[in-house]
Amino acid sequence: MPKLKTHSGTKDRVKVSKNGKVRTRHVNGNHFLQKKSGSRKRRITSFQTVDGANAKNIKLNLGV
Distance CA 64, CA 57 (A): 10
In tens, the pLDDT along 7-41 reads 999 999 999 999 999 999 999 999 999 999 999 99
Q: Which CATH class is domain 8-62?
A: few secondary structures
Domain-wise residue ranges, the chain: 8-62
pLDDT at 2: 86
pTM of the model as a whole: 0.78
Determine whether 8 is exposed, middle or buried from the number of CB atoms within 10 Å of its CB (0-12, 13-18, 19+).
Answer: exposed
Question: Is pLDDT at 53 greater than 90 in this prediction?
Answer: yes
CB atoms within 10 A of CB 47: 13
